[in-house]
Each structure stands twice: as C-alpha cells, then as structure tokens.
Amino acid sequence: LLLESVLFGRPTLQCELLPLRLRAAVSVLCALPRSPPSTARAVRAERTALRLAETVADWLMTGCGANGPTGGEGPWRNFRTLSWPMYGQILGAAPALAPRALCFLFLCSLRLPEVGAAASSSRGIAPAKDLGRYVFLSELFASLLVRGGAKPLR
C-alpha cells in the first residue's frame, strides 16, 4: 500500500517526483533479507518481492506517462528507457536477483501493446513504427542470450 501511494500518488507532481519514484522502485526490487531466512520465510519474501515487482511494472507501463500524446508509443518508450535499464540496475546490484529481474521484465512486457501485423505481412513488410520495436526486441534477445546477459540465471 505504501509503495502504491509513492508511485501512484499526486499525479500533478508526476515529473518532479519521477526520479524519486524510480529510485524507490529500484530499491524495492533490489531488497534482500538481512540474514539468511528459513526456507518458508525466503519463499514468502520472494512472493512479496514479486507482488511488488507487479506493482512497479504496472506503474511503469500504465502510469508514469505511458499513455501520453505519442499514440500508444508510451508503453514501448517506458519499456526501452525505464524497464530495461532497471533490469540492468537490479542485476548490477545483486546478480543473485536475476530471476526476480527477469520476472520484472516479463511483467512489464505483458503490458506492452501488441506489435501490429502489416497488411502485406506474408511478404515480411512491417509498418515503420513496428520496425523500431523489432529492432529493440532483437537487441534485447541478443543481450540476454547471445552476449550472455542471462548468465546469472544459470
């Protein structure tokens, strides 16, 4: 509830509070227990962390200026410029959080509008606005799988 009020509260101050809200979101996603918990406590803690990741993903992809004047480009812009860098910050803070970071990225991707198919998709021609999305997604794929960005998940 506290995280939701920090992220979703006072829309009139959206721009002024964005850096603070982003720092709070990264801090919550990077939280680790102070001492080694029991198995049951560790499971509860990770479930809670994933619920918080769901809240942050919802805020990034549906709030946070996602539905601005760019006609549906807001969620894609937020995914490229906020979610993806936050994924890197989580991995940089603690490689052990790689599964949580990947879940966060997945939760963000669930909120992306679908990439439309062109009228002549059988010939492999995509609308111009979708090309940037394809390029970004191929870069994401290359970063995670080809260049070894997913190594912490092993």
Q: With contact defined as beta carbons under 8 Å apart, do 49 and 37 qualify?
A: no
DSSP secondary structure code for residue 94 in this structure: -
Tell me the per-residue pLDDT of 75-89, one tens digit each, with 9 for 90 and over. 888 888 888 888 888
Mean pLDDT along residues 20-44: 83
Tell me the per-residue pLDDT of 109-152, one tens digit each, with 9 for 90 and over. 888 877 554 444 444 555 556 666 667 777 777 776 666 655 65
pTM of this prediction? 0.70
